[in-house]
Amino acid sequence: MALQRRWEKAAALAGRRAGGLLHVGPAEWVDAAADVAASGGQLLALWGTLYPESVPAAAVRAALFVDGGLLVLELAVADPAQPYRGLHEVFPAAARMQRAVTDLTGIRSDAADQRPWLRHAAWRADEWPLAAPTAVPRVAVPAADDYPFVRVAGDGVHEVPVGPVHAGIIEPGHFRLSIVGEKVLRLEQRLGYAHKGIERRFTELPILEGHRLAARICGDSAVAFAWAYCQALEGLCGATAPPRAVWLRGVYLEIERLQNHLGDLGALGNDAGFAFGLSQFSRLKEELLRSVQQVFGQRYLLDAVVPGGVAADADDEAAGLLAARLGQLAAAVRALRAIYDDHAGVRDRFAGAGTVLPELARRLGLTGLAGRASGQPADLRIDSSWPPYHVLTPKRCLRRDGDVAARVAVRFDEVEESCRLARALLSELPGGALRAPLAAPDPGPPAVGVIEGWRGPVLVALESRERGRIHRCHAHDPSWQNWPVLEHAVIGNIVPDFPLINKSFNLAYSGHDL
């Protein structure tokens, strides 16, 4: 079978379990993607890289997840101005990624929608942040630009613009709701407000220090991004973190999942008019943060994962204390779950709101937590089973209803499971070093790190062409896949349910905008 041959070729080329890199021609590029899609695989990320003064001058890469493994397709681009064949017809999620590639590198796809995506007014259409040798410091604030939203016409249709400054403590983004009466006909998102030039900034940092920036791509997924960065870097170096560090990374990642799920479960109760939920879950979250601070010295683990290992240890006593606290937390959340389940008003708001049925979820590539609430089983901790998860047999938390209630249920299930996983890891922490010594890697092809963060699979692709320096670091948040699905989820719902539906996905702005 064609796919099998590609796999063998990929394995022969790369010889590594994670991230076989496969060079393809323009025809194979789309064929291979279609093969992967036909066998149930998904697009994980798509990014472009420029190679000034080299031949070819650029490359577009697509990371695909299929059969529990990662396949990276590489398409050489001789002339960035000549459009390459986009993957948007095979994977709809590719559309925005391709627009972002154009904004940052000038490499153009053949898709019909050529509107800018990450670029607003901060730089011109003929300037490419990943191509220019130096930044031009600006003194004046750029004017707001005029983005061509799709207009909905008809009797009684009007638009509700929301953002970029939102009514709560929320990241910046713009939502254009076309409504008739109370009903949403169409939602169009516009993102890019939090664009900070992260991928350009990476190229200015030493490769052994990039993990600090990786942890700040998206604050609520700091562990996932820092781990993915370090996994890619360790892949380039041919190094592995010592067992104790790997176990602790697992603990951090499950704590990060818990912190976010507790925050969301409270906020979702609040958005459904049940302030009790916000009070109780935010109290539990604060208690968890304080325990984490007590044990690891940080409330949020932004500086815990480092190249070659970890920077925050827990001695036996501290590990025992944290494990005990997690046991109490699981019990407290079970009690609150019973209260949510009993509350008719909450149930009524959650059930049937923002539904994404499994078939639509599959077609659009809905991923991670939201995907598992719509019958998409992918969970890298189980399917790919990287250490330390290979010894844990995590439980798959799956629902098929695809509504707010399902996304809440998956969070409740995952809180229970994360408490179990973190306790299991803490009870069997291996002895030994926290960190393996790491020297800057030899220049060569990129390596990829993928971690199942709390939202879904987080990817970092890292490439060095000069010892100690980063040529290209691409960071991908699962929100890229899930934002477009949110546009579908709200169709036909009433406007007041939009905040609730949006919160039930809780997608990243900074992690997406880079």
Report the interface residues with another protein, using CB under 8 A.
Answer: 120-123, 129, 132, 135-138, 141-144, 164-165, 167-172, 192-198, 200-201, 212-213, 216-220, 222, 259, 263, 276, 278-280, 282-283, 285-286, 289, 299-300, 302, 335-336, 338-339, 342-343, 508-511, 513
H or E element that contains 452: strand 447-452
- For 229, how many CA atoms within 13 A lie in the half-sphere containing its CB? 33
| Contact call for residues 495 and 160 (beta carbons, < 8 A) | yes
The smaller minimum CB distance to another protein, of residues 85 and 200, is found at 200
The smaller minimum CB distance to another protein, of residues 129 and 235, is found at 129
| Contact call for residues 210 and 470 (beta carbons, < 8 A) | yes
Considering the complex, what minimum distance in angstroms separates the CB of residue 173 from another protein?
10
Considering the complex, what minimum distance in angstroms separates the CB of residue 197 from another protein?
3
Q: What is the DSSP letter of 395?
A: P
Considering the complex, what minimum distance in angstroms separates the CB of residue 229 from another protein?
13
The smaller minimum CB distance to another protein, of residues 178 and 506, is found at 506
Considering the complex, what minimum distance in angstroms separates the CB of residue 38 from another protein?
37
Sign of the CA dihedral running 339, 344, 346, 352: positive
Considering the complex, what minimum distance in angstroms separates the CB of residue 91 from another protein?
27
Cα 490 to Cα 499: distance, rounded to the nearest angstrom: 10
CA of residue 168 relative to chain centroid, distance: 23
The smaller minimum CB distance to another protein, of residues 22 and 101, is found at 101
Considering the complex, what minimum distance in angstroms separates the CB of residue 215 from another protein?
8
Considering the complex, what minimum distance in angstroms separates the CB of residue 431 from another protein?
31
The smaller minimum CB distance to another protein, of residues 240 and 282, is found at 282
The smaller minimum CB distance to another protein, of residues 29 and 350, is found at 350
Considering the complex, what minimum distance in angstroms separates the CB of residue 196 from another protein?
5
Which of left, alpha, beta for 144 (phi over 0: left; psi -120 to 50: alpha)?
beta
Question: Cα Rg for the chain, rounded, in angstroms?
Answer: 22
Cα 114 to Cα 116: distance, rounded to the nearest angstrom: 6
Considering the complex, what minimum distance in angstroms separates the CB of residue 407 from another protein?
19
The smaller minimum CB distance to another protein, of residues 75 and 288, is found at 288
Cα 447 to Cα 26: distance, rounded to the nearest angstrom: 22
The smaller minimum CB distance to another protein, of residues 197 and 443, is found at 197
| Contact call for residues 397 and 413 (beta carbons, < 8 A) | yes
Tokens describing residue 327: 């046991």
Task: Identify the three-state secondary structure at position 19.
Answer: coil
Q: Regarding beta strands 69-77 and 20-24, do their DSSP bridges make them parallel or antiparallel, or are they unpaired? A: parallel
Residue of 92, 99, 56, 52 lying closest to 75 (CA atoms): 56
The smaller minimum CB distance to another protein, of residues 181 and 345, is found at 345
Cα 435 to Cα 307: distance, rounded to the nearest angstrom: 8
Task: Identify the three-state secondary structure at position 505.
Answer: helix
Cα 140 to Cα 93: distance, rounded to the nearest angstrom: 35
Enumerate residues 6+ apart whose C-beta is below 8 A from 486.
187, 189, 354, 501, 502, 505, 507
Considering the complex, what minimum distance in angstroms separates the CB of residue 392 from another protein?
27
